[in-house]
């Protein structure tokens, strides 16, 4: 489209006459036919014009991005994994003007921020709230009052139909190193899958402050991904990653229709085919999950059937995408012992991260452990310490991040409500407690060591959403 628009007005067409005359003389000298030279001249000129047209179009596309991209800043005081304590800034983009919906990264917004604000270009920061946090993708849906959206702003155009092609020109827009509303450009290098995530790999620079912003197709102007991560410059140059918009759009669509876009529990672990990145071969079956699938070791999942439609899957990211938001049951297409079979599986959606609770005491945050491989790495179902604030009583006593609370005063407590009540009573009575914790370390013939830690509990209470409750009362 950019090339056609340029054809109407571009002065470079006036070069055609001179170019043909020059090539005609060159052809007489080299005994090349005028017809072949004419075709060559048109090809060269059109290539020149189209490159220039794309450049003009990309300038307008970056200018348009200012109207839907926002700055996001947040502050987290009591972090629950994967949150970290402190402040952070990033980007986001408007997806619905009527409802005031904005997409960003989860690691930008945080799950339990003390304060969360967004700002449009040339505007002031306004308070924002979190509507949805995804369990798998680094995605958050934010909301601001629609009245705060400038009249000059517009919602972003999204490419929800397909992944970009390798080689497509893309631009990353955001606020790298606090340089507000800046764009960088590059190409799509690959579409990758890693640890249950699908990624767009690009050499467009994605730096601190770009996270949560749009990765834009520089031909269509549509957003193809959400900028998320990059390798350290000390490790590699030009290797950055964005979450494909195809996956994010399914979250947006289900959420706006009032459906839960969460992913289900997957009670098995997969391996790729040997020496390949693709393949969903059942390699471990978990026993302690809310659902059980009738799969066997060695089964290879190749498709999901739902409402008469088959979605081909070749990696865990694609499988999670296909199962997202589905309830009750669905059907998997499986290769078993060389034959294709269809297996009906039950489904149960995972709880939202927004329903997580943390327990704070003495500068420490502990949470319940909910990984699917809990039966392997935490068979006692112990609470885990996710954060120990620097300079706190907990740090001084010797507690560390990732410690497991095995016992308290020679008793076992592995639910967060009971622990809160016990610690709160000790706080009110101003008595010390003795924690038994386990941690990874070099013990005798063991990779686990145990520590006894004496501590006076202080400021005991639940952490939930944007609320810190000093009482041990669990309220939804």
Residue 139 has pLDDT above 50, yes or no: yes
Query: Could you tell me the maximum CA-CA distance found in the chain, to the nearest angstrom?
Result: 104
Output the pLDDT for position 151. Answer: 94
> How far, in Å, CA of 54 to CA of 39, rounded?
22
Residue 335 has pLDDT above 90, yes or no: yes
Output the pLDDT for position 57. Answer: 78
What angle (nearest 5°) sits at the alpha carbon of residue 280, between those of residues 274 and 281?
65
Residue 471 has pLDDT above 50, yes or no: yes
1-15, 118-132, 184-198: least confident range: 1-15
Average of pLDDT values for 323-339?
Answer: 95
> Quick one: which of 444, 434, 454, 441 has its CA closest to 403?
441
Per-residue model confidence as pLDDT tens digits over 254-284: 999 999 999 999 999 999 999 888 899 999 9
The whole-model pTM stands at: 0.85
Output the pLDDT for position 326. Answer: 94
17-21, 275-279, 345-349: least confident range: 17-21
Residue 32 has pLDDT above 70, yes or no: no
Output the pLDDT for position 12. Answer: 40
Average of pLDDT values for 208-218?
Answer: 95
> Quick one: which of 8, 85, 4 has its CA closest to 50?
4
Output the pLDDT for position 11. Answer: 37
Arithmetic mean of pLDDT over the chain: 87
> How far, in Å, CA of 402 to CA of 418, rounded?
20
CB–CB of 360/399 below 8 Å?
no
Task: Categorize the per-residue pLDDT at 48 as very low, low, confident or very high, splitting at 50, 70 and 90.
Answer: very low
Output the pLDDT for position 232. Answer: 62
Output the pLDDT for position 22. Answer: 52
Output the pLDDT for position 383. Answer: 96
Per-residue model confidence as pLDDT tens digits over 393-431: 999 999 999 999 999 999 999 899 999 999 999 999 999
> How far, in Å, CA of 41 to CA of 47, rounded?
10
Please, which residues bridge with residue 463 across strands? Answer: 358, 468
User: Between 102 and 55, where is the model more confident?
Assistant: 102
Output the pLDDT for position 464. Answer: 75
Q: Which residue has the tokens 């924690």?
A: 435
Average of pLDDT values for 362-385?
Answer: 92
Is residue 172 packed enough to be buried (19+ CB in 10 Å), middle (13-18) or exposed (0-12)? buried
Residue 56 has pLDDT above 50, yes or no: no
Output the pLDDT for position 277. Answer: 81
The three-state secondary structure class of 412 is coil
User: Between 9 and 81, where is the model more confident?
Assistant: 81
Token duo for residue 326: 């589905």
CB–CB of 395/363 below 8 Å?
yes
Per-residue model confidence as pLDDT tens digits over 143-157: 999 999 999 999 999
Residue 17 has pLDDT above 50, yes or no: no
Enumerate helices (H) and strands (E) in the chain, giving the number of each. 9, 27
How many Cβ atoms from other residues are within 10 Å of residue 299's Cβ? Answer: 23
Token duo for residue 137: 């993708």
> How far, in Å, CA of 341 to CA of 347, rounded?
19
The three-state secondary structure class of 244 is strand
Token duo for residue 460: 């005991």
Output the pLDDT for position 178. Answer: 86
Task: Categorize the per-residue pLDDT at 323 as very low, low, confident or very high, splitting at 50, 70 and 90.
Answer: very high
Task: Categorize the per-residue pLDDT at 215 as very low, low, confident or very high, splitting at 50, 70 and 90.
Answer: very high
């Amino acid at each position: 489209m950019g090339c056609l628009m340029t054809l109407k007005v571009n002065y470079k067409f006036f070069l055609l006459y001179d170019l043909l005359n020059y090539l005609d003389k060159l052809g007489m000298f080299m005994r090349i036919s005028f017809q072949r030279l004419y075709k060559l001249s048109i090809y060269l000129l059109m290539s020149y014009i189209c490159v220039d047209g794309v450049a003009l179009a990309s300038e307008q596309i970056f200018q348009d991005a200012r109207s839907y991209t926002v700055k996001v800043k947040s502050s987290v005081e009591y972090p629950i994994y994967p949150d970290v304590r402190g402040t952070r800034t990033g980007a986001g983009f408007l997806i619905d003007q009527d409802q005031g919906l904005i997409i960003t990264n989860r690691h930008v917004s945080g799950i339990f921020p003390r304060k969360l604000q967004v700002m449009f270009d040339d505007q002031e920061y306004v308070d924002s709230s979190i509507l949805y946090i995804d369990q798998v993708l680094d995605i958050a849906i934010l909301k601001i009052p629609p009245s705060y959206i400038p009249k000059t702003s517009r919602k972003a155009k999204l490419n929800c139909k397909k992944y970009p092609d390798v080689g497509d020109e893309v631009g990353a827009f955001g606020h790298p190193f606090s340089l507000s509303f800046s764009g960088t450009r590059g190409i799509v290098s690959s579409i990758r899958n890693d640890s249950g995530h699908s990624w767009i790999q690009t050499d467009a620079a994605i730096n601190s402050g770009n996270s949560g912003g749009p990765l834009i197709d520089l031909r269509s102007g549509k957003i193809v991904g959400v900028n998320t991560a990059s390798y350290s410059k000390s490790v590699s140059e030009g290797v950055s990653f964005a979450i494909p918009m195809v996956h994010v759009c399914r979250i947006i669509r289900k959420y706006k229709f009032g459906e839960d876009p969460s992913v289900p529990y997957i009670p098995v672990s997969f391996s790729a085919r040997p020496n390949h990145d693709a393949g969903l071969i059942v390699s471990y079956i978990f026993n302690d999950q809310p659902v059980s699938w009738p799969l066997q070791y060695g089964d290879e999942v190749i498709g999901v059937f739902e409402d008469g439609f088959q979605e081909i899957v070749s990696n865990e990211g694609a499988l999670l995408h296909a199962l997202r938001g589905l309830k009750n049951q669905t059907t998997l297409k499986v290769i078993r012992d060389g034959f294709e079979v269809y297996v009906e599986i039950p489904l149960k959606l995972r709880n939202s991260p927004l329903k997580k609770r943390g327990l704070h005491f003495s500068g420490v945050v502990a949470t319940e452990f909910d990984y699917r491989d809990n039966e392997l790495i935490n068979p006692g179902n112990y609470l885990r310490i996710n954060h120990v604030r620097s300079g706190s009583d907990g740090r001084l006593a010797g507690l560390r991040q990732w410690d497991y609370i095995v016992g308290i005063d020679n008793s076992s407590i592995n639910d967060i409500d009971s622990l809160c009540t016990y610690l709160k009573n000790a706080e009110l009575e101003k008595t010390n407690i003795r924690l038994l914790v386990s941690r990874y370390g070099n013990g005798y013939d063991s990779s686990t060591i145990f520590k006894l830690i004496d501590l006076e509990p202080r400021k005991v209470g639940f952490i939930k959403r944007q609320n810190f409750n000093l009482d041990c009362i669990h309220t939804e």
